[in-house]
Amino acid sequence: MLNVAADVVIGTASHFGPKAGRAHVSVNVGGMLGGGSQPAFANAAFVAPNGRITFGRDAELLGCYCTDRQKSDKHTTLDCPSP
């Protein structure tokens, strides 16, 4: 588990967490959460109760998120695998 007091940004064409098929990373975020773009990938469970998560174009999240607000661009993939 990662605890981050400020913002988390996953950069363009970045990869966060383990490869698909492995257990996700749990991340508590105190600020805003940028879910990446063109084509960023994250295998994580994000919790940012007071923040906003943003997914840019072609971003992919394998996992889940819990936030106050959400925004996404086109061609994003949000996938919650079976336990």
Residue 27 confidence (pLDDT): 95
Residue with tokens 């400020």: 6
The verdict on residue 27 lying in a domain is yes
Count: domains in the chain: 1
Residue 15 confidence (pLDDT): 93
Provide the pLDDT confidence category of residue 14 given band limits of 50, 70 and 90: very high
Domain housing 15 = 2-71
Provide the strand spans (E) within the chain.
2-4, 8-9, 15-16, 25-29, 33-34, 41-55, 60-72, 77-79
The verdict on residue 79 lying in a domain is no
Q: What is the pLDDT of residues 25-37, one digit of tens each?
A: 999 999 988 877 7
The verdict on residue 83 lying in a domain is no
More confident residue, 37 or 18: 18
A 10 A CB-CB count for 53 gives: 21
Distance of alpha carbon 38 from alpha carbon 20, whole angstroms: 18
The verdict on residue 6 lying in a domain is yes
The verdict on residue 76 lying in a domain is no
Q: What is the pLDDT of residues 44-79, one digit of tens each?
A: 999 999 888 888 888 999 999 999 999 888 888 888
The verdict on residue 62 lying in a domain is yes
Residue 6 confidence (pLDDT): 93
